[in-house]
Amino acid sequence: MTTQKSAVTEETFDKYESQVRSYCRNWPAMFDTAQGSWITDVDGKRYLDFFAGAGALNYGHNNPKFKEALIDYISRDGITHGLDMNTVAKGEFLQAFGEKILAPRDLDYVVQFPGPTGTNAVESALKLARKVTGREAVVNFTNAFHGMTLGSLSVTGNAMKRAGAGIPLVHSTPMPFDNYMGGAHEDFSWFERVLNDEGSGLNHPAAVIVETVQGEGGVNVARAEWLQGLAELCKRQDMLLIVDDVQMGCGRTGDFFSFEEAGIKPDIVTLSKSIGGYGLPMALTLFRRDLDVWEPGEHNGTFRGNNPSFVTAKAAIDTYWSDDSFAADTKRKGQLIADRFEELCKRNEGIKRRGRGMIQGLAFDDADKAGEACSKAFERGMLAETSGPSDEVIKLLPPLTLSDDELTQGMDILTESVEEALR
């Protein structure tokens, strides 16, 4: 790879781009090329990418197998923009997704293309749940993050992001996520009580929306038994269960869907980020066949038919999900990261590990130390971000395809950076 000489400077962004930009403030470099687990700046400095597009690059940058399929498709003038028209690319993706993802997991879902982003998928899920049940209320969980549009924000916990809406966010009620009360209260005791109490003031919900692992919320992991209890509660109380798998799906926790470990079958599932394989925009809303009550065109979007994404998404499924070997290797590498974090925690006070599969977090008692450690990692040539309500957690989202040597190199960098920050 060669870097491109350019007249663009930092002043270009200061002059033309909004103050809303964020990641570039933590990583002050001019990036130009990327391949696999590495991203390179215009000066030729390489960085190990343990951020992976916030989970949109599970298969690495410019995956060569996907790139070949994409170039071939573009070269033959394959359709780029197709709304919801029938195209070969969409049909081949649907066939691969149905045969290699849904059927082996006994999931009789239909697929909706709601638009290109995760929040589009969440918005359509909320609308569908309300349409099916005829109810308005939705239950979400503390520290949840579901997107930046109004419906998604209404079921998001982060106060700063909610405040950006500028209007009241209504028709949602937060409940405690697993272990939010530190084990002081029995799981769902409060939730079920207010559902059954005519004096609680809680309108009967249409649905419950949950992340099995809260990434933006601080890498909070729901236990399998907690998810099972939630699924049973939804069934008893006639509420639809929506699992937001935008960041944790597509193999991030090991299995293709993050809820597989719990053995549950949600009524509705949202996917985005890595479902497109190559980092191209794409989102899916999956739901039980009997819930498909949409009228034609009742929910649509101009860019729901991004055919290049269908091409790379199919390539990802064919390459990595034709058997169980990729999932097993992801779990193995996730355990390597967890083991390194556990060793680090034993040697140092004030930090503790969280995570599952290849979403791993390191929580700091002193929130400022998390950001300081990430800054030091950047200086050493590694990208890692913070999450949690106070940015107190280092969140690792490396490509699932990284090598063991790259994993070791990244963990060495992070270990040195954390221990320097803690001194």
| Cα 303 → chain centroid | 20
Phi then psi for 23, rounded to 5 degrees?
Answer: -60, -35
pLDDT of residue 181: 84
Hey, how many other C-beta atoms are within 10 angstroms of the C-beta on 170?
9
- Rounded Cα–Cα distance for residues 351 and 347 (Å): 10
The pLDDT value given to residue 112: 98
β-pair partners for 381: none
State the DSSP code for 102.
Answer: I
Helix (H) or strand (E) holding 295: none
* Residue spans of beta strands (DSSP E) within 200-245: 207-210, 213-214, 220-221, 240-244
Tens of pLDDT, residue by residue over 92-144, are: 999 999 999 999 999 999 999 999 999 999 999 999 999 999 999 999 999 99
The structure tokens 């090329």 sit at 33
**pTM for the whole structure:** 0.96
The 8 Å CB, 24+ separation contacts for 367-373 are 367/391, 367/392, 369/418, 369/421, 369/422, 370/394, 371/26, 372/421, 373/414, 373/417, 373/418, 373/420, 373/421, 373/422
Tokens, residue 120: 């589009």
C-alpha 207/C-alpha 173 separation (Å) is 11
Q: How many residues does the chain have?
A: 423
Are 226 and 192 contacting, i.e. CB atoms less than 8 angstroms apart? no
Tokens matching residue 159: 């106060």
Question: How do strand 38-41 and strand 31-35 relate by DSSP bridges?
Answer: antiparallel
222: left (phi over 0), alpha (psi -120 to 50) or beta: beta
Q: What CA dihedral angle connects 405, 50, 58 and 154, to 10 degrees?
A: 160
Confidence at residue 29, expressed as pLDDT on a 0 to 100 scale: 95
Series of mean pLDDT values for 10-residue runs along the chain (423 residues): 74 94 94 98 97 98 98 98 97 98 98 97 98 97 97 95 94 94 77 90 95 98 96 97 98 98 98 98 98 97 95 98 98 98 97 98 98 98 97 98 98 98 96
Q: How far is CA 1 from CA 32, 46, 61, 279, 334, in A?
A: 10, 11, 13, 19, 29
Q: What is the pLDDT of residue 168?
A: 93
| Main-chain dihedrals φ then ψ at residue 339, nearest 5 degrees | -65, -40
Contact 324, 105 (CB under 8 A): no
Q: Which residues contact 329 (CB under 8 A, 6 or more apart)?
A: none
* 220 CB-side CA count, 13 A: 24
pLDDT at position 187 is: 77
Is residue 356 a contact partner of residue 260, using CB atoms and an 8 Å limit? Answer: no
Q: What's residue 2's pLDDT?
A: 62
The one-letter amino acid code at 312 reads T
